[in-house]
Amino acid sequence: MGRRFGILTSGGDCPGLNAVIRGAVLKGETVYGHTYVGFRDGWRGLVYGDILELDRTTVRGLSNQGGTILGTSRFGPYSEPDGGPENIKKVLADLDLQVVIAIGGDGTAAAANRLFNDGINIVGVPKTIDNDLDATDYTFGFNTAVEIATEAIDRLRTTGNSHKRCMVLEVMGRHAGWIALHSGIAGGAHAILIPEHPESLDQICAWVTSVKNRGRAPMVVVAEGFTLPDMKEAYSEKGLDGFNRPRLGGIAEVLAPLIESRTGIETRATVLGHIQRGGVPSAWDRVLATRMGGAVADLVADNGWGHLVALHGTQMARITFDEALGKLKQVRPEYYDEMRVIFG
């Protein structure tokens, strides 16, 4: 008789989550005879036993849908007063579930590892729009975000050209500037500012001025986690999120008036925000997410508790939570410099 597993999506959403759920359910049901349920709203659904049944019909046509049909939250499994391993073991036993599949980022993997060490059968699927997990070469959702940000650059350029303005586009990227770098390269930005590499205002203004001097409208792309040399931390004025991290966003609004007053060039800021996390996943992300779903069905069939699936090169791989945790994949200086030499 096949076993019964519970899937949850935790942390910030991103395009491709539904394709993972579909991939896992289809392969698990078809190849292994497993049955699945989904926990609603991340760890909260696990702690309170709030589930929905998942089968072939529930996941039909899901791979092109953004968001997550399960809902998500930044609620931790050890949250008081009802969280913790003993309660979770009881919930799983009451629901006749043997395993938890947690789809999420670094915070989710850390919580999953703690539950694993507390005796719960749990596996993971890495997820972040920022593409900053060292465990995997790519996370689904990143490609879609780059497409959306690139389209935003293309659109901002035409209005920037009309008015001969400097346009500053802010994209996501807390610790790593992958979305900024890749969309900036694709969109032909004149300066790309990322968290890994502080740049002085003098340097940014020099690039902007040289673009303007040759008759072009300067296009600057900045990641939300970018800091000027005199900033102690990334710009945040919206308090903390559910995982106690500062809510980022707004560095473009800081930069635009500074650039304008230094250079005399009229400058406008656009913060792309959650637009880049919503909507249909790109074909590339659908493929990766579907493969990750299938790979996690294989993982649970092999009793691979304490592991995450990952993409290494073109192959699906498995690594332990311990190996994956806390290791950021940031933009290497050589890669950034490859592009920086043509800024301005």
Among 248, 252, 310, 311, binds ligand F6P (CB under 6 A): 248
> Measured from the CB atom, is 85 or 250 closer to ligand F6P?
250
Shortest Cβ 62–ligand F6P spacing (Å): 21
- Going by C-beta distance under 8 Å and a sequence separation of 6 or more, which residues neighbour residue 111? 10, 43, 76, 77, 78, 102
Shortest Cβ 303–ligand F6P spacing (Å): 30
CA 61 centroid distance within chain: 23
Rounded Cα gap, residues 83 and 78, in angstroms? 4
Binding part of the chain for ligand F6P, among 126-134, 153-161, 282-290, 312-320 by CB under 6 A, reads: 126-134
Rounded Cα gap, residues 191 and 210, in angstroms? 11
Rounded Cα gap, residues 57 and 324, in angstroms? 34
Asked if 72 and 13 touch (Cβ cutoff 8 Å), the reply is yes
> Measured from the CB atom, is 107 or 306 closer to ligand F6P?
107
In the numeric block, which tokens belong to residue 326?
A: 């806390």
Binding part of the chain for ligand F6P, among 60-68, 166-174, 278-286, 320-328 by CB under 6 A, reads: 166-174
Rounded Cα gap, residues 306 and 321, in angstroms? 6
Q: Is 66 among the residues that bind ligand F6P (CB under 6 A)? A: no
Q: Is 129 among the residues that bind ligand F6P (CB under 6 A)? A: yes
> Measured from the CB atom, is 64 or 73 closer to ligand F6P?
73
> Measured from the CB atom, is 15 or 293 closer to ligand F6P?
15
Q: For residue 344, what are the CA distances in angstroms to 149, 191, 298?
A: 20, 6, 49
Q: Is 144 among the residues that bind ligand F6P (CB under 6 A)? A: no
Binding part of the chain for ligand F6P, among 37-45, 50-58, 172-180, 254-262 by CB under 6 A, reads: 172-180
Among 72, 128, 270, 290, binds ligand F6P (CB under 6 A): 128
In the numeric block, which tokens belong to residue 314?
A: 């073109």
What is the length of the chain? 344
In the numeric block, which tokens belong to residue 75?
A: 């609620």
Residue tagged active-site, from 13, 106, 130, 132: 130
Query: Exposure pattern of 182-221 as b/e (b: 16+ CB <10 Å)?
Result: bbbbebebbbbbbbbbebeeebbbbbbbebbeeeebbbbb
Rounded Cα gap, residues 31 and 300, in angstroms? 12
Binding part of the chain for ligand F6P, among 54-62, 127-135, 286-294, 331-339 by CB under 6 A, reads: 127-135
Shortest Cβ 204–ligand F6P spacing (Å): 22
130 is catalytic: yes
Q: Is 174 among the residues that bind ligand F6P (CB under 6 A)? A: yes
Task: Supply the residues annotated as catalytic.
Answer: 130
Q: Which residues bind ligand F6P (CB under 6 A)?
A: 12, 105, 128-130, 172-174, 224, 241, 247-248
